[in-house]
Amino acid sequence: MSDDRVIHYLRTRARVEPEAQLVARVMAAVEAAPSVRSPFATFVPAVAIAGAVAIVIVLALILGQGPNVGPNPTDSVEAEPSPATFEELQAAVESGVDVLVEAPGVEGVGTSSVLGELAAATWLISA
């Protein structure tokens, strides 16, 4: 076979026109074909939901078994406490400092002040 014959054959095959009703027949056949669903397709959503619920339950069990840290909850106080005044807070800090300074085993105390007010206190305690 020569190249000219092959080229001529391919050109004649490329010029073929489809039937006038070909597209309509193909579309009618596609629409008439029954839709085939897998028998498992109805169970897929239920399996997905069951899997998600199982994952949530497992996570809740794992995270819920953490150590019990801290005291047990107590009943809430009905009356709302009023905020402490500056003088009450200062007296509480000073009384705490006095107790620690006089405690046995305390070897040194370092304090710092800001604008004449106690800012920090450090205790050196011997064992």
How does pLDDT run across 101-117, given as a tens digit for each residue? 777 776 677 778 888 88
For position 51, what pLDDT does the model report?
93
For position 23, what pLDDT does the model report?
82
Q: ∠103-105-109 over CA atoms, to 5°? A: 70
- Write out the DSSP string of 5-71: HHHHHHHHHHTPPPPTTHHHHHHHHHHHSPPP--TTTTTHHHHHHHHHHHHHHHHHHHHHT----SP
pTM: 0.28
For position 55, what pLDDT does the model report?
93
Q: Which residue has the higher pLDDT, 48 or 127?
A: 48
How does pLDDT run across 1-49, given as a tens digit for each residue? 688 888 888 877 776 677 788 888 888 888 888 877 777 777 888 889 9
How does pLDDT run across 42-99, given as a tens digit for each residue? 788 888 999 999 999 998 888 777 666 677 777 766 666 778 888 888 888 888 877 8
